[in-house]
Amino acid sequence: MNTISRELGKIRFLILADFRVQMLFRLGILIQLLNVTIAAASYYFLTTLFHGSSEVMKRYSTDVVSYILLGLTMNPIFTTSLVGFISALETTYVSRALERIMMAPTSPYSLFFSRMANGYITSIIAALLYLAIGIAVFRVRLGTGNPLAVLLILLLGAIATIAVGMLLAQVFFYTYTGKGSGGSVVIFVQGFMSVFTGATFPIEVLPTPLRWISAMLPQTHAIRAARLVLAGRAIFDTVIIQDLLFLIGFCMVMLPVGVWLMRKGLEHMRKEGYSPQPRFATARRFG
């Protein structure tokens, strides 16, 4: 219990330290707020090109604008869950913070989760901004469903997506691209997920052979279940139950696999040594 308490205290300290650093760059925060506003407006004006509502939109009891902006509200949380580990690994690797943590009696997960916690804070702020702008300016319809049930579904989806993020982190452990230019990997994965998870358009419009990709992603099931609950469907609706069972099963299977792979990846780094340069550079071993 004392060990857990100490690690939680370290996570709290690291979160506060990162927050103080971020507050030094207030202009960047302002630019981010402007980006959210511009993105919401661009989607709104784009969707005005399409009049009426399709059968797919009727399924979710919403219109195109509300569908897209609600997806933009949900997506930041899943994005942080997906790329949190590889982003934390890359930034701490380049700054050598990872090396110092691995040589200290502190769990590397304290460092990872503190970085991810800051990402979640930013994601929640972005989601709330999308929601506020959507309601105040573009009259987004939230639906009549239970918001608490929606939050629980999104939480379950975020946990399942963390497991996928652990798999993605293996790119960092076993490739130089992941260590040196992991941003390109993150951008690709984010673009891939935006297409196949139904965040900005229904997966029903995808060609049938491609829908199996969507069916394998936990974000797809979380976003669909959350949308259907907002549309007023009961939590015991057949489709919602199937999505929830998928998410629970995914967590039970993939989270242990992800933790095991993360442990193996960290062990691999200890054996290979630490160097932000390619293999021909002199490697420094962890203590």
Question: Is residue 182 scored above 80 in pLDDT?
Answer: no
Q: pLDDT, tens digit, for every residue of 58-110? A: 777 777 777 877 888 888 889 999 998 988 888 888 777 787 777 777 778 87
d(CA 122, CA 99): 26
**Which of 29-38, 45-54, 103-112 shows the highest mean pLDDT?**
103-112
d(CA 74, CA 157): 10
d(CA 67, CA 71): 6
Higher-confidence residue: 52 or 161? 161
pTM of the predicted model as reported, rounded to 2 decimal places = 0.76
pLDDT of residue 45: 46
Higher-confidence residue: 14 or 89? 89
pLDDT grade, residue 287 (50/70/90)?
A: very low
d(CA 187, CA 283): 29
Higher-confidence residue: 211 or 56? 211
For residue 223, give both structure tokens: 């976003």
d(CA 18, CA 272): 29
Contact of 224 with 247, CB cutoff 8 Å: no
Largest CA distance in the chain: 64
Averaged pLDDT, 140-144:
77
CB neighbourhood size of 240 (10 A): 21
CB neighbourhood size of 277 (10 A): 11
Cβ within 8 Å of residue 118, ≥6 positions away: 15, 18, 19, 22
pLDDT of residue 260: 95
pLDDT of residue 15: 62
d(CA 228, CA 143): 9
d(CA 110, CA 131): 31
pLDDT grade, residue 241 (50/70/90)?
A: very high
Please list the alpha-helical segments (H only) found in 95-181: 97-103, 108-136, 147-168, 170-174, 176-180
Contact of 94 with 276, CB cutoff 8 Å: yes
CA 68 to chain centre: 17
pLDDT grade, residue 159 (50/70/90)?
A: very high
pLDDT of residue 58: 75
Question: Is residue 219 scored above 90 in pLDDT?
Answer: yes
pLDDT of residue 97: 79
